[in-house]
């Protein structure tokens, strides 16, 4: 019922030349797969380069953040409209690195989600608990708050949720498939209460140290519909391995 969805979050990596090489290799290896949706989210400066390289392939283009205002005196920021103009189809919102280092809150996530929706951009909304929160047994409470406050008054059109336990991001410590499934099932129930049957069509990605050798176990879980990939998205072999594994397991 749900097409698997894998997105590569390149974070603050890739000059235009590096982006061209990486995207070119991905087009060659996975650019025509049709049983899966794959998106690349380069840094702003490489968006146009990646757009050009993936044009005509089945790969989708995304950005890593946006500002909620349409335009104006917001030095350093980029709006949803600008991303649409750059031909992005989607945007990552509320990544834990933005929450941790750049003051992102559930309230700013909420504004950004509404701005993305108003501009017709898809969104990947990131949520997830820290190690301290997990160890004190507050995982579901934190995830519930992030969903409730982040999605307050926001629609579900073209919305993907990425569950990313903060302790698993960039650490090599992946959540076990069972740990991830428990939270994904909780998120699905929450979405069902909120959006009804539409929740069965919404995709929930897992993120945090996803690699070709752990993707099968994750994708075997009923409520894991794909992944948001950081480190491994910068290597064509590992990213393509994750994509192929995701197709194979669904
Ligand atoms: P990682 O990052 O795959 O390097 O753990 C995931 C993410 O931050 O989205």
Q: Which residues have C-beta atoms less than 6 Å from ligand 1?
A: 9, 164, 169-170, 207-210, 228-232
Distances 142 to 113, 128, 146, 170, 227 between C-alpha atoms, Å: 19, 7, 6, 21, 20
**Residue to mutate, 43, 231, 233, ligand 1, most ligand atoms under 8 Å from C-beta:** 231
Q: What is the pLDDT along the chain (250 residues), one digit of tens a residue?
A: 899 999 999 999 999 999 999 999 999 999 999 999 999 999 999 999 999 999 999 999 999 999 999 999 999 999 999 999 999 999 999 999 999 999 999 999 999 999 999 999 999 999 999 999 999 999 999 999 999 999 999 989 999 999 999 999 999 888 999 999 999 999 999 999 999 999 999 999 999 999 999 999 999 999 999 999 999 999 999 999 999 999 998 8
Contact between 162 and 126 (Cβ < 8 Å): yes
pLDDT at 44: 98
Residues constituting the chain? 250
Token pair for 114: 């509404």
Catalytic (active site) residue 156: no
Counting beta carbons within 10 angstroms of the beta carbon of residue 48, is it exposed (0 to 12), middle (13 to 18) or buried (19 or more)?
Answer: middle
- Closest-CA residue, ligand 1 atom 2, reads 230
């Amino acid at each position: 019922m749900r097409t698997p969805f894998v997105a590569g979050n390149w974070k603050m990596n890739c000059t235009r030349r590096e982006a061209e090489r990486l995207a070119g290799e991905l087009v060659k290896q996975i650019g025509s797969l049709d049983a899966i949706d794959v998106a690349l989210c380069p840094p702003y400066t490489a968006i146009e380069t990646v757009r050009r390289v993936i044009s005509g392939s089945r790969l989708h283009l995304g950005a890593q953040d946006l500002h909620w205002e349409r335009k104006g005196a917001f030095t350093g920021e980029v709006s949803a409209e600008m991303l649409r103009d750059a031909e992005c189809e989607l945007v990552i919102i509320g990544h834990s690195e933005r929450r941790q280092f750049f003051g992102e809150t559930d309230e700013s996530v909420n504004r950004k989600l509404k701005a993305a929706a108003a501009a017709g951009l898809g969104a990947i909304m990131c949520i997830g608990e820290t190690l301290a929160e997990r160890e004190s047994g507050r995982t579901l409470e934190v995830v519930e708050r992030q969903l409730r406050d982040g999605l307050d008054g926001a629609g579900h059109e073209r919305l993907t949720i990425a569950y990313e336990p903060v302790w698993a991001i960039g650490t090599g410590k992946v959540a076990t498939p069972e740990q991830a499934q428990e939270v994904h099932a909780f998120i699905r129930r929450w979405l069902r209460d909120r959006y009804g049957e539409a929740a069965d069509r919404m995709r929930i990605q897992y993120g945090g140290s996803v690699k070709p050798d752990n993707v099968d176990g994750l994708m075997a879980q009923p409520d894991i519909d794909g992944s948001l990939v950081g480190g491994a998205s910068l290597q064509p072999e590992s990213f393509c391995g994750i994509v192929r594994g995701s197709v194979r397991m669904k």
